[in-house]
A and B are shown apart, each in its own frame.
Chain A
Amino acid sequence: MSEGVPARDDVCPIMRIGDTLLVALQGELDDATVVRIEDRLTKEVARTHATGTLIDVSGLSVVDSFIARVIARVVGMVRLLGSEAVVVGIQPAIAITLVELGVPMGHLDTALDAEQGMALLRRLRVDGNRAR
């Protein structure tokens, strides 16, 4: 039976598009899963020498302060490895909620969707002109 059921690590697949990695966070994430994603993504950046990483959170219906901190931490880790990181797909309801909750996210490079995220990554690679 186990064949049709994705392993837990497949919950958030990591794709490679040229020099860019795309990781999609989706569904209900428990804390352990989130930490495992950090581990896999940083190893994948190091292995592939990706110069940019898109973190797609459009599949998350809730981002509480823990998950928000994890996202910010992943961005910090990816940048330390020399890869630019952009968070894409924050849902409007989540943006409203995070600002009212008071979670600081302004220091992150964000874009509305993956396409705009790719464009932002290209600009960041060229001149390091961060949004913040």
Chain B
Amino acid sequence: MATELVEPTEVVVPIDSEADLIQVRRVLRTEAVRAGLSLVDQTKLVTAGSELARNILIYAGDAGGELRVEQVRSGDRQGVRATFSDNGPGIEDVEAALTDGFSTNGSLGLGLPGSRRLVDDLSIRSAKGAGTTVVIVKWRR
């Protein structure tokens, strides 16, 4: 089933500093409520978004990035789609980055695999030197 936009508008949040994480969480919470997600699903989406935004701060550094949030629909389902894109160095091995415990910066390596467990869909588009785009979707149950 094709995923289509419920409305043409999207919310954009720049991700350049730690202070932006608060806005990322706030916008995701607002859009999750608008889509009718349960409290648990709101919390999962906001937490996954917080992890992904922090990845941008850690890995993209000064290059920065942004979050785009959209209300989407697929058949009868309604949900939230959040796209995190950065202009950082990119991910060399996307498969490895999705493995629990894999980290290139000495963290626990929970960021990508952990985030994937919290949402219904997570996809990554990245190439070395060409930045990274991570798209997550959470559907209303």
The stretch of A13-21, A37-45, A92-100, A118-126 in contact with B is A92-100
CB within 8 Å of B: which residues of A?
A: 28, 30-32, 61-66, 69, 91-94, 96-97, 100-103
Residues of chain A contacted by B110 (CB below 8 angstroms): 65, 101-103
Q: Known contacts A62-B47, A64-B50: does B40 contact A96 (CB below 8 Å)?
A: yes
Residue of B nearest to A93 (CB): B43
Main SS at interface, chain B: helix
Residues of B in contact, count (CB < 8 Å): 28
When the two chains form their complex, are residues A61 and B114 in contact, meaning their CB atoms are under 8 A apart? no
CB within 8 Å of A: which residues of B?
A: 18-19, 21-22, 25-26, 29, 39-40, 42-44, 46-48, 50-51, 54, 100, 107-108, 110-111, 113-115, 117-118
When the two chains form their complex, are residues B21 and A100 in contact, meaning their CB atoms are under 8 A apart? no
Q: Known contacts A93-B40, A102-B114: does B18 contact A31 (CB below 8 Å)?
A: yes
Which listed residue, B40, B46, B113, touches A62 by the CB 8 Å rule? Answer: B46
7 closest residue pairs by CB, A with B:
A64-B50, A93-B43, A101-B114, A93-B40, A31-B18, A28-B22, A100-B117
A78 to chain B, nearest CB (A): 22
Residues of chain A contacted by B114 (CB below 8 angstroms): 65, 100-103
Which listed residue, A28, A31, A92, A97, touches B47 by the CB 8 Å rule? Answer: A97
- The distance in angstroms between the C-alpha atoms of A100 and B25, with both chains bound, is 18
Q: Known contacts A97-B118, A101-B114: does B47 contact A64 (CB below 8 Å)?
A: yes
Main SS at interface, chain A: helix
- The distance in angstroms between the C-alpha atoms of A46 and B43, with both chains bound, is 35
Q: A28-B26, A96-B44, A102-B113 are in contact. List 6 more A-B contacts (CB 8 A).
A: A61-B29, A62-B29, A64-B51, A66-B50, A101-B48, A102-B108
B36 to chain A, nearest CB (A): 16
When the two chains form their complex, are residues A32 and B43 in contact, meaning their CB atoms are under 8 A apart? no
B107 to chain A, nearest CB (A): 8
When the two chains form their complex, are residues B43 and A65 in contact, meaning their CB atoms are under 8 A apart? no
